[in-house]
Structure 1
Amino acid sequence: MEDLSVPHPSRTPKALGLAVTAALSLTLAAPAAPAAAAPDPDPVPALVAGRETAAPQLVTGLAERAEGTPAAAALAQLAAHPERYRIDPGQLTEVGTERTADGRHTVRFQQYHGGVPVLGAQYLVRLTGAGADQRVESAGGKYFTGLTAPTTAAVPDAMLRGLALGSLADPRARSGATAEDHGLVVLPGGTGRLARHFTVRSSTRRPDGRPTTREVYVDATVGGIALAHDARAPYPAGTRAATVGVPATGTATDAYGRRVQVNTTRLPDGSHQLVDRTRPATITTYDAAGRDLVDFVGGLPADLRPAASPTADFPAATGTGGATDAHLNAGLVYDFYRDRLGREGLDGKGAPIVSLVNMTNDGEPIINASWDGSMMTYGGGGPKYHSFAVALDIAGHEMTHGVIDHTAALVNAGQSGAMNEALADYFGNAVEVTARGMAMTDPKAALLGEAVCRTGTPESCAGRRLDDRRTTVDDYLGTDSSLDQGGVHLNSTIFSGALWDLRRTLDPLTADRLVYRALAEYLTPLDDFVDGRDAVLAAGRSMNLSRAQLRTVAAAFDAHGIRAGWESRLGTDSRALVRAIPTSMAAPAVAGGRWVMGNATGTGDPALYTGSTAGPGTPTRLSPQDGRRHSWAATDGRSAAWLAVGPDAEGKFGMEVLTRPLAGGPVRSLLASRTEQLGEVRISGGDIAFLAEDFATGRTVIRLSRDGAAPVELPLPDGHRPSGLTLKDGLLGWTERWTTGQQERSAATVRSLATGRVTARYESAGSISSTLLAGGRLLWTETPAGPTARSAIRSGALDGSGVTDLLPADSPYAAATPTLTASDQAVTFRTTGSRPADGWTNAALPKLWQLPITGGTPVRVSCNRGGQYEAAADRGTRVLWLDATPGRTDLVVREHPAGHC
């Protein structure tokens, strides 16, 4: 159901001829010298270097003899050429060998580090021939050199599980949630990062009705969430007993009311079930008959049987609920993969194929479909929609996710996730066009899901269209993982559009086999768009495509902007300080021209670093190299204070507040605790403040250290919960919340550290957040009660004498709960972003705005088109932030606002 739930940013095709012509002219343009003087360039790279590794991403053009079984020959090839591959064969374990009908073999190896698997690290070796004629044709994939991460967890298993469950932000989702432990894994990048992998499931539903299901990777050395993304397995099918009976046929009504023939199994009592045994892969279709989706969270209920009829003539409900179409379409998709591509079922080995139709969400039809990791599920539609099982392209899409899971296993996040969706789109449409005998020029050929509407045109009904002509440079939506897993659906047609162009320019059968070979024999889980381009071109070479055909392939990718270095052509107006940083626990702090941040090397290093805003330069490590994670930092431009999380000197898990001058010197500890959750560290001169929450009681207090003294607890009224600390020039501010009767209240508070007295307190019946001391005032955002309320940005005198609205709640620039940062001259706020009615666009992603500290009309900080996150104000109008525009997350800076974009 996740596949069609994100409205696409554009469904209007661009000028096809102009795009393709421009790409061809770019690829084939002759140099200034006579054309005969320059050889025709080879569009297939012989070698593609790896990134963050010495091992190559791709080596092609080989023809080296290899003896033994394919697996043994492949491993011997890697061992015999250490200078070429830079791979230790001892770290590889075979995870599967694909054999094609023409005798080719692709051996897929998984990399292990000290016996622990490395996420997404797969290396493939492709061989042709047999016996004395066996040859290695090419090799490549992801193998990460330089890994030194520990292989033994330092954090107790129970705490890791608790952290995984705690990754569910909604407390209601955590209630009754489960965390299935998959063991340790090393996350690649730099020296690597040891994590424990959990699948977290909750019965709490998302807006589209699905149970919350996440793949969560918890740092096993220091705690904290290292990686999390949506899972594809909310309804594990489990093992079911085989239906006892004999193959038969019957008739049933489809969603359009037509009587059609269906393959069935006749049971001993003469009744029939939708169980098709005419193929090596048994096809079974279940009808939930309106049961709620929560009944299926733990798997198919024990009392659920395949859709059935007392006779060979199935009732009309079999069609209206979608069972008939799901059953027929599963067979058509199976036949496409077997007859056209030589694949025996979704797993390549003829495993059973299961479909489930007609679940409901609180009694309402589900308007979506999904592959859940073990079976297809189709929503039952409703007044405006047929069952989603009616659309053959949707069935092909969902079943292709099953094929991908058993081949490249592309990770469902960012560009790899977008390619996962793109390949499912491509083959879903290819199945429908082939089975229905449609011409590639048919306007409906490129539409996905156009058949599900009861009303409306196919164009308005389609969830996506593969001919929307989107490109990386013009249309890539730069978002972090908080939206659509980094744009897996939103960016998919950039890649699927290139593939669909191939199907329109090459022979369709050739194109289908080419794309399938790239999927099954070249792609690996963490590949991006450019890796996908290289995989398709390399597959073309192995298929002996002509030079002209390979140029056509390259031109199709060029037309969609999928070529090396496309990220640098997006026209950003900010200056990058650190490129491609992991976003987990990475939020910059800045003051006096110096920034401080964890994860600041682009490698996942758990250390804390500092650098100059004049950078980029080389960041300087601040934290000790002690195996703990150092992050959550603050700085006043002279020193930094931060948290260290992980095992202490006695090997016990705990948290510690540390501080050090930016120019160097000893690291000093302020407080270490094994019983408290520490956070919100702030520093100003000799003052350091932070929050401490007792694990046992849940009580949160403010602790303050002055001039190196031991931290002391500051008094707060009973029942008041502090948050949002701000510290500057001997003043401490915070937000506090409490309950009076049945009413929640909040206040923005200022305390003088010299006198110990509260000097200002601004109460509200609404919600106060983002308290900041800047420009001799206390700033905060205030949101009145109400689901559609916008927030005002307010400024209060430090003596409590009055409030000024810097940005009223009724301003056209006001947003819901904006996040603030400020210097003494300017206030910068981030809008949260909201989805337009016609789908997400870059313009709708979170953006930074700035206005004078005294108020005024906001202007854009940057015209970068993608998402802008975690802003930190320096002096004047300078702002640093994490920017996702270029298909990755960079730490960037601007000295002055861009103005109006």
Structure 2
Amino acid sequence: MTPPNARHHRTSLAIATAVAAGALLTTGLTAGAASAQTTAAPAAAAKPLAAAPTALSASARSSLIADAQTAAPDTAHRIGLGAKEKLVVKDVVKDVDGTVHTRYERTYDGLPVLGGDLVVHEKADKTEGVTRATKATIKVASLTPKVAASKAENQALTAAKDAGSTRTDADKAPRKVIWAGDGTPVLAYETVVGGLQEDGTPNELHVITDAATGKKLHEYQAIETGTGTGKTLYSGTVTLGTNLSGSSYQLYDTSRGGHKTYNLARGTSGTGTLFTNTTNVFGTGSASSSSSDQTAAADAAYGAQATWDFYKNTFGRNGIKNNGTAAYSRVHYSSGYVNAFWDDSCFCMTYGDGSGNTHPLTSLDVAGHEMSHGVTSATANLNYSGESGGLNEATSDIFGTGVEFATNNSSDVGDYLIGEKININGDGSPLRYMDKPSKDGASLDYWSSSAGNKDVHYSSGIANHFFYLLAEGSGAKTINGVSYNSPTYNGSTVTGIGRAKALQIWYKALTTYMTSTTNYKGARTATLSAASALYGSGSTEYNAVAAAWTAVNVS
């Protein structure tokens, strides 16, 4: 997220990220304990849908990946790739009915193909379809650049400085790649610029340069940030997973992949120091400017466990990468840092303490939002620019909202408002609205041909609006005490299918039918494919997906 007065300086702002939960943690925390809040006993579980993902053990997933990699040469030939192309397995999803969706990255003559990812769908060892990021044939006449790598590096450094970065430097020499993100595939350089962004957030700007002409083809920011300047979110008394080591309790959740919460103590690099305490209580329920304050740490740990539980209980997903391994969290980043960010390179979530170091940016939907960027990266890896960037942001808003509803915390009930507890605008209003995104003054309610030119945090409104309509329908209604009134582009009336089904459709679309270059038209196709697989073509759910997209002018 980005403070309002800084938004015009940047192209990649942010609620791309979000973690952590409320502020009040005043009770004893049981070592290795599970959930966050006592809730009513769940109803009997329904029979799983045939096309729903099945939970895989780490060993079963590893075995499927190894088998797919062994068969990759044959798969490449079978789906029509050229002799110079190879497939590298990234992930595997197996449905209840045995269908396997294998996600691949691609190389060409040994070079990575950016935008060349694809998903092969198989059942009973028979290929049922392929979802491709690009339909273009990968064929490059020469792998010898016509421009020097130094030119690409200088171009990238200039792009970073123009975006307001400070202390910019190239992390490593530009690497040769094949760029297939749009248009005809070409030989290109990829340069990664480090240093800091203008507000102190770490910088990881990827710039793609045509190796024949020197033209900049694409750029995206890999550090996806979230920001807020509101009050600490009070989540009430919660239970956290902790670990007793000797005579000290650690903020180390061994029941959820080993999530740990560290203190950077105003530093900006490294892992920091693991939070420990002599008693099994972390935090005081109020913010403190101390760099050793444990309330922010408790919030971060709560947000991480709520996000883990949401993905596990809703989709059977075993952690962000679905491999049973947790990310880790860092709090007290820098001084007066009004932001928070997810970073794939460290597989970690980081929080600043906000203005005066007394407003830590740890809210529940922000937690779910931020860590969901990691899920997107591990699956479709939607490019963080243009329409795919808007879909990336919306995915985090959608699942962040899912986390908030699923956690069922009485101090922060579920809603379709984003960042409503952090008071980023200073007037108590939320950062974004899913029922009518334009209420924030910048986000799009409907698709238009200029959507890809909007900042991704504003073009995300189209998918946010779609999801709200799919889940709840159009018109005026009150949910958990919050009033909504969702319009439609064509004046139609949309009947929602419920949040639970809408989440299943979006998750399946993301994990099996979207690729790095999916745009809004492609998202419509992906979600219709997901609805068809889950509920049947022509079903009420399928027709609702079509109606909701039409209602936001995506056809």
Q: TM class, shorter-chain normalised? A: 0.7 to 0.9
Paired residues for 1:710-749 under 5 Å: none
- Aligned-partner Cα distance in 2 for 1:378–1:561: 37
Kindly indicate whether the alpha-carbon contact (under 8 Å) linking 2:191 and 2:207 is maintained by their aligned counterparts in 1. Answer: yes
2:416 to 424, 432, 446: 446
TM-score (norm 2): 0.72
Which 5+ residue runs of structure 1 have no aligned equivalent?
Answer: 9-67, 235-253, 564-901
Corresponding residue for residue 399 of structure 2 = 427
- Aligned partner of 2:515 in structure 1 is 524
Written as runs of structure 1 = structure 2, the 5 A alignment for 1:5-404 is 6=7, 79=77, 87-88=81-82, 91-100=85-94, 102=96, 103-128=98-123, 130=124, 134-141=125-132, 142-145=134-137, 147-169=139-161, 177-181=169-173, 183-188=175-180, 189-203=182-196, 205-206=197-198, 208-232=199-223, 256=234, 258-268=236-246, 270-279=247-256, 281-289=257-265, 291-292=266-267, 295-296=268-269, 299-300=270-271, 304-316=272-284, 321-360=295-334, 363-364=335-336, 366-373=337-344, 374-382=347-355, 386-389=359-362, 391-404=363-376
Partner residue of 2:553? 561
- Distance in 2 between residues matched to 1:454 and 1:198, nearest whole Å: 33
Within 2, Cα distance between the matches of 1:480 and 1:552?
25
Residue 175 of structure 1: how far off its partner (Å): 5.6
Report how far residue 331 of structure 1 moved. Answer: 0.7
SS of residue matched to 2:322: coil
Q: Residue 542 of structure 2 aligns with which residue?
A: 550
For 2:189, the aligned partner's letter is: R
Q: Give, in whole Å, the separation in 2 of the partners of 1:479 and 1:512.
A: 24
Amino acid corresponding to residue 110 of structure 1 in structure 2: E
Q: Distance in 1 between matches of 2:113 and 2:148?
A: 21
Amino acid at match of 1:356: R
CA distance in 1, matches of 2:392, 2:164: 31
Count of equivalent residues:
452
Q: Cα distance 1:329–1:146, how it changes in 2: closer, same or farther (>3 A)?
A: closer
| Corresponding letter in the other structure for 2:378 | H
| Partner secondary structure for residue 98 of structure 1 | strand
Establish whether residue 465 from structure 1 lines up as the match of residue 439 from structure 2.
no
Separation (CA, whole Å) in 2 of partners of 1:89 and 1:552: 43
Task: Report how far residue 182 of structure 1 moved.
Answer: 6.2
**Structure 1 vs Structure 2: percent identity of aligned residues?**
27
Deviations 1:791-834 (CA, angstroms, capped at 9, x unpaired):
xxxxxxxxxxxxxxxxxxxxxxxxxxxxxxxxxxxxxxxxxxxx
Distance of 1:257 and 1:125 partners within structure 2: 42
Give per-residue Cα distances to partners, 1:851-887, cap 9 Å, x unaligned: xxxxxxxxxxxxxxxxxxxxxxxxxxxxxxxxxxxxx
- Render the CA deviation track for 1:626-658: whole Å, top value 9, x for unaligned: xxxxxxxxxxxxxxxxxxxxxxxxxxxxxxxxx
Structure with greater proportional strand content: 1
Partner SS for 1:515 = helix
Q: Is the 1:195–1:219 Cα contact (8 Å) retained in structure 2?
A: yes
Give the TM-score normalised by the residue count of structure 1: 0.46
CA contact (8 A) 1:384 1:455 kept: no
What is the alpha-carbon distance in structure 2 between the residues aligned to residue 537 and residue 172 of structure 1? 40
Bigger mean CA deviation after superposition, 255-264 or 185-194: 255-264
**More RCO (CA 8 Å, sep 6+):** 2
Shift of the 75–446 alpha-carbon distance from structure 1 to 2, 3 Å rule, reads farther
Q: Which residues of 2 match residues 755-834 of structure 1 at below 5 A?
A: none
Aligned to 2:36: none
Separation in structure 2 between the aligned mates of residue 436 and residue 163 of structure 1, nearest angstrom: 48
Once residues 480 and 97 of structure 1 are traced to their aligned partners in structure 2, the CA distance between those partners, rounded to angstroms, is 28
Q: State the 1:111 CA deviation.
A: 3.4
Alpha-carbon distance, 1:411 to partner: 0.6
Separation in 1, partners of 2:424, 2:119 = 46
Q: Deviations over 1:460-500 (max 9, x none)?
A: 1x11111116697857593786xxxx421111011121022
CA contact (8 A) 2:382 2:515 kept: yes
Compute the displacement of 1:501 (Å).
1.9
Letter in 2 for 1:534: T
CA distance in 2, matches of 1:336, 1:108: 23
Higher alpha-carbon deviation: 118-127 or 222-231? 222-231
Flag structure 2 segments of 5+ consecutive residues without an equivalent: 13-65, 226-231, 473-495
Q: Distance in 2 between matches of 1:385 and 1:464?
A: 23
1:397 offset after TM fit, Å?
0.5
Change in 2 beyond 3 A, CA 1:275/1:477: farther
Q: Contact 1:385–1:454 (CA<8 Å) still a contact in 2?
A: no
SS at match of 2:535: coil
| Cα displacement (A) at 1:259 | 4.8
Give the counterpart letter for 2:552 in structure 1. H
Q: 1:74 to 1:139 in 2, by over 3 A?
A: farther
Paired residues for 1:632-711 under 5 Å: none
Which residue of the other structure, out of 456, 459, 464, is the alignment partner of 1:491? 459
1:411 aligns with 2:387: no
Task: Write 1 or 2 for the structure with the bigger share of helix.
Answer: 2
For the structure 1 residues 140 and 257, does the alpha-carbon distance in structure 2 shift closer, same or farther, using more than 3 Å as the test? closer
* Rounded Cα–Cα distance in structure 2 between residues aligned with 1:435 and 1:386: 22
Partner letter of residue 431 of structure 1? V
Q: Is the 8 A contact 2:388 2:520 kept in 1?
A: yes
Q: Which residue of 2 aligns with 1:500?
A: 468
- Cα gap change, 1:158 to 1:348, in 2 (>3 Å): same
Which of structures 1 and 2 has the bigger CA Rg?
1
CA distance in 2, matches of 1:90, 1:177: 34
> What are the superposed Cα offsets for residues 432-472 of structure 1, whole Å, 9 maximum, x if unpaired?
1121179xxx8x611011122499775x1x11111116697
In structure 2, the CA distance between the partners of 1:75 and 1:530, relative to structure 1 (3 Å rule), is farther
Cα distance change on mapping 1:321 and 1:449 into 2, 3 Å? same
Contact 2:353 / 2:359 at 8 angstroms: preserved in 1?
yes
Residue 535 of structure 1 corresponds to 526
Does the 8 Å CA contact 1:346/1:402 hold for their aligned counterparts?
Answer: yes
Which letter does structure 2 place at the counterpart of 1:466?
M
Distance (Å, rounded) in 2 between the aligned partners of 1:479 and 1:101: 34
Amino acid at match of 2:303: N
Change (3 A) 1:78 1:537: farther
Contact 2:131 2:515 in 1 (8 A): no
**After alignment, is 368-377 or 334-343 more displaced?**
368-377
